[in-house]
Amino acid sequence: MRRANRRSFLTAFVRLLACLPFVNSRLLAAETFATLRQPAAEKGIRFGFAVDPAKLNDDAAYRQLVARQASIVVPENALKWQTVHPEPERYNFASADAIAGFAKAHEQRMRGHTFCWHRSLPDWIHQTVTPTNAEAVLTAHISTVASHYRGLISAWDVVNEAIQLEDGQPDGLRNSFWYQMLGPRYLDIAFKAAHKADPDALLCYNDYGLEKDTHYGESKRTAARAQAARHSDTRLGHSVPPACRRHIWSGPFPLYSCSA
């Protein structure tokens, strides 16, 4: 897809969102409100939302809005460690299952987010995981969660926001918990475990700020491309695309998310 097409869609959408502070969710869900999934599809974009299962259940206007507007949904927090794996021997799939069911009912794709992130780790991880058992813990978690959603999730953000140039680590990697436990090989471990559990899912590295036309943005893009290449063909048999998030906010909540 040409950059101009993507930019024209996003520009039009930003103009539309300028009105959102003055519009409530009931009006947004009205049948007269034009759907965005179709013009997005015409530009080769899947348009969607980071969704909250509680709102899907409790807010009819929100539910109708997501059903009509989105062609892809992403669990905002339901698949992060703190929610889906709150205790060493307990997984909680209820929230993410609800989103998966909603997506299937409305012919939407679902994107999995995320296996490795420096935030949203439950306390038990910090209390019990060591360099000795970290690989086993990480592999077991990814295997269990990815296997549970095999065939339901089209793509996974396997590693999220691993680039932090200011930390001064080799290859620009963030000095995160998993980096401290396993070094840079934690990315290899994560991608291999995800591919083994769900070989048909598209596996991605996800980050923000890669689109910025600045020296910092270019440096971050270079680091992200290097990581994507490192975890591609020779290890998994296919390429690992870097996914760049674009978020548009109104007030405290993300209203739009597009993965490219």
Long-range interactions of 76-80: CB distance < 8 A, separation 24+: 76/50, 76/51, 76/52, 76/254, 77/52, 77/120, 78/53, 79/112, 79/113, 79/114, 79/145, 80/113, 80/114, 80/117, 80/119, 80/120
pLDDT at 196: 96
pLDDT in tens, 164-179: 999 998 889 999 999 9
* φ/ψ of residue 115, rounded to 5: -90, -45
pLDDT in tens, 89-118: 999 999 999 999 999 999 999 999 999 999
pLDDT at 25: 52
The whole-angstrom separation of Cα 49 and Cα 6 is: 17
Would you say 245 and 207 are in contact if contact means Cβ atoms under 8 Å apart? yes
Query: Hunting for tokens 């930019």 — which residue is that?
Result: 7
pLDDT at 26: 53
pLDDT at 243: 56
pLDDT at 226: 85
Stretches where the chain sits below pLDDT 70 are 1-33, 231-260
Torsion region of 172: left, alpha or beta (phi above 0 gives left; psi -120 to 50 gives alpha): left
Sign of CA dihedral 169, 174, 180, 181: negative
Query: Which CATH fold topology does 3-259 show?
Result: TIM Barrel (3.20.20)
Residues found in the chain: 260
* φ/ψ of residue 91, rounded to 5: -110, 145
pLDDT at 237: 46
pLDDT at 234: 41
Secondary structure of the chain in the HEC alphabet?
Answer: CCHHHHHHHHHHHHHHHCCHHHCCHHHHCCCCCCCCHHHHHHCCCCCEEEECHHHHHHCHHHHHHHHHHCCEEEECCCCCHHHHCCECCECCCHHHHHHHHHHHHCCCEEEEEEEECCCCCCHHHHHHCCCCCHHHHHHHHHHHHHHHCCCCCCEEEEEECCECHHHCCHHHECCCHHHHHHCCHHHHHHHHHHHHHCCCCEEEEEECCCCCCCHHHHHHHHHHHHHHHHCCHHHHCCCCCEEEEEEEEECCEEEEEEEC
Task: Name the CA radius of gyration of the chain, rounded.
Answer: 19
pLDDT at 8: 57
The domain ranges of the chain are 3-259
What is the value of pTM for the model shown?
0.81
